[in-house]
């Protein structure tokens, strides 16, 4: 199609966008700040809305081969283990939403996307990050971290919550610390008592903290994410080593399914959770943003990767449908901004519920717990997620 598209960032959003665009015959070049590829962190949840896109991009089989399909999502009391609600996943989710619900290691998804991009001849440059840009009437001049300057017809900022492209477009605005930190790690399943971790998306909620665990790689690994309200830690790094003994102490007295899992863990990472208010503008003429660069998600709905994946498909569709780039980028923003804003804000609200932060939230959980005896809360909980999981951007746009 003649347009040269540069993508800043080779994370999941950047590679997914590169693949979606390459499949529509665009020339795509990706620049990544890191000198080597590999997603730090651990697991992520690919709900049905994300899997629709991965199916359309032809990588669903590879993803399914490396993933784990949970049976249910279950919220439980941090000490007693009493169930607040259960949302059926597995075959029930596939039948209801038309696509699987999967858990996958970030590195595995990254490898699948990278391999698919290379097959489509996407050019990926490592150790070169996009620093800034200037636009002329003819094209965009892009400055890279090694002081090289390149030209392009379109620039996509998929460079995360500390996006240089966003800063150049809208000015520097620091992300806000949420007062919460997240510990992450993985444990080999064979190091745990058999059956300790149920084959679900397990969510344990308690005062000021919550704990999530689920299987990866067909059940070979168990992923955990532990979130704690804490004001004394503000490093934004994803790969800051955490003190595993401190993590165990933090969750001492929780249900044995949590404490036994942590006793088998050898390493963990710790990072502060930062947030930004939803943006009103994602595009500047022939430059646009995608994923965390325009809508960073707190992990309380597990939709960060899924929203970047949806963005990728929508952006490629809009650019292929409209000869005028600026019109296409405006259409992309109009399609995506209301949905991502809604999910951003709802993820923020869930923090209070998960951490029983107020008497109102404690009462909500008590009501959920009481209703679960008659099955009402399960239905209510499932229906509250339909607007996320039941969304199919591929079907909407085609």
Round the average pLDDT of the chain to a whole number and report it: 90
Residue 327, number of CB atoms within 10 A of its CB: 12
Task: Dump pLDDT digits (tens) for 383-398.
Answer: 778 999 999 999 999 8
More confident position, 230 or 372 = 230
Q: What is the mean pLDDT of residues 291-306?
A: 94
Name residues whose C-beta falls within 8 Å of residue 384's C-beta, 6 or more positions apart in sequence. none
Q: Assess contact for 338 and 310: CB atoms under 8 A.
A: no
For 120, the token pair is 């489509």
**Active-site residue identified among 84, 214, 389, 391:** 214
Residue 237 predicted with pLDDT over 60: no
What kind and span of H or E run contains 288? strand 287-289
- Does the CA dihedral 268-176-34-297 come out positive or negative? positive
This model's pTM is above 0.85: yes
Q: Specify whether 214 is catalytic.
A: yes
Q: What is the DSSP letter of 213?
A: E
């Amino acid at each position: 199609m003649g347009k040269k598209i540069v993508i800043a960032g080779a994370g999941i959003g950047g590679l997914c966008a590169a693949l979606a665009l390459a499949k529509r015959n665009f020339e795509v070049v990706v620049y990544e700040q890191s000198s080597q590829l590999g997603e730090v962190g651990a697991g992520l949840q690919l709900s049905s809305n994300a899997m629709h896109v991965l199916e359309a991009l032809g990588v669903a089989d590879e993803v399914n081969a490396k993933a784990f399909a949970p049976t249910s999502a279950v919220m439980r009391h941090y000490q007693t283990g009493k169930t607040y609600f259960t949302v059926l996943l597995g075959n029930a989710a596939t039948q209801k939403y038309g696509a699987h619900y999967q858990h996958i290691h970030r590195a595995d998804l990254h490898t699948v996307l990278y391999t698919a991009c290379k097959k489509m001849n996407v050019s990926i440059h490592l150790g070169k990050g996009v620093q800034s840009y200037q636009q002329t009437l003819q094209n965009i001049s892009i400055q890279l971290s090694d002081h090289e300057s390149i030209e392009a017809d379109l620039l996509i900022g998929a460079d995360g919550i500390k996006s240089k492209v966003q800063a150049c477009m809208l000015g520097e605005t620091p992300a806000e610390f949420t007062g919460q930190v997240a510990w992450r790690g993985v444990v080999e399943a064979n190091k745990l008592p058999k059956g300790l971790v149920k084959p679900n998306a397990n969510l344990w909620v308690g005062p000021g903290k919550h704990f999530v665990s689920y299987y990866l790689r067909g059940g070979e690994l168990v992923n955990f994410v532990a979130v704690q309200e804490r004001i004394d830690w503000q490093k934004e790094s994803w790969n800051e080593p955490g003190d595993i003994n401190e993590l165990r102490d933090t969750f001492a007295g929780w249900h044995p399914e949590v404490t036994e899992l942590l006793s088998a863990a050898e390493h963990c990472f710790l990072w502060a959770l930062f947030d930004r208010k939803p943006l009103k503008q994602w595009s500047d003429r022939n430059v646009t943003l995608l994923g965390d660069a325009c809508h960073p998600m707190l992990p309380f709905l597990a939709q960060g990767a899924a929203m970047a994946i949806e963005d990728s498909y929508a952006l490629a569709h809009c650019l292929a449908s409209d000869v005028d780039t600026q019109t296409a980028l405006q259409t992309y923003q109009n399609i995506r901004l209301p949905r991502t804003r809604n999910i951003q804000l709802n993820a923020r609200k869930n923090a209070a519920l998960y951490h029983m932060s107020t008497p109102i939230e404690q009462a909500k959980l008590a009501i959920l717990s009481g209703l679960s005896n008659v099955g009402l809360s399960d239905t209510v909980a499932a229906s509250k997620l339909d607007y996320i999981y039941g969304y199919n951007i591929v079907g909407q746009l085609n």
